[in-house]
Structure 1
């Protein structure tokens, strides 16, 4: 793309190559997003089967990421080639520049939020299967999941005693965040 098509596009659209940096940025974003998307499949494979709400949120986020990336890829590839195969400068090339730069930015932001949400163990979903108050696209990934990192590495009795910064302990069976004083899970009635 950089070595062949940008030079050709520069000639066809009468634009210096330095003004076509937005195309290179779009392609670099596509490569990075494909790399992230590849690893989301591994993340989804290891999501516990009993965490239905997290699985649903994960599948939704992954699907949105795929469709957003496809829109960007479509614009960067197919729409770009229409400007490569013209005889002279196109009147609407600046509109294409704005569209591609906008799609690149939106896709970058979405994937950054997706990665943040996965790093936080999809903490926007509370243990009862709903979304937390900080949910939504701006809050995606906000919150802490210290206990989710310990799950599976400590013996069950130790996992249920893990107390997070807010003074709650997570049930080893349903992962509900119970108040410190509770001796029985308020969700599934399992003993601490």
Structure 2
């Protein structure tokens, strides 16, 4: 239903679809880990050395997925007010078109409960914006999508 309203504002619609896609991708990664990778440990004969690594990964994905959905809900509650004229959508579409938008394996570490960014870089050397969850290069001082400073 909300998408019908957004047809009046193409920039907000694009930003909403971007945030929704990030939340869905995060949920897919969590599902993969929680249901499929867990089976490896449940079906093993004995204790596994890397089970603690699995638990750490699962906790990270859970936190990350929560962050994506909290960002989506926050933006909806605020009427997608972070859409900064044409600049946000141009940056989003150019990053996605160039293939630099994050894939399922390239996620940041999310944010803390206080809303401040956790700038731990993932394996690709990127960090997730705590406002829009876009994966930025490690050297970026501000998000390339929403210009939020971390």
TM-score range, shorter chain: 0.5 to 0.7
Q: What is the distance in 1 between the residues matched to 2:129 and 2:5?
A: 24
1:82: Cα distance to partner? Answer: 1.0
CA-atom RMSD, angstroms?
A: 2.0
* Structure 1 unmatched ranges of 5 or more: 1-41, 141-192
Could you say which structure has the greater relative contact order, defined with CA pairs below 8 angstroms and 6 or more residues apart?
2
Specify the alignment match of 2:15 in structure 1.
57
User: Which residues of 2 match residues 76-91 of structure 1 at below 5 A?
Assistant: 76-91=34-49
Paired residues of 2:19 and 2:68 also in contact (CA < 8 A)? no
Higher helix share: 1
Task: Quote the residue 1:94 is aligned against.
Answer: 52
Please list every run of 5 or more consecutive structure 2 residues that lacks an aligned counterpart in the other structure.
89-127, 133-150
Superposition TM-score, scaled by structure 1 size: 0.45
Q: Secondary structure at the match of 2:87?
A: coil
Q: Which residue of 2 aligns with 1:44?
A: 3
Match of 2:73 in 1: 115
Determine if contact 1:54/1:129 at 8 Å carries over to the other structure: no
**Partner Cα distance (2:36, 2:131) in 1:** 34
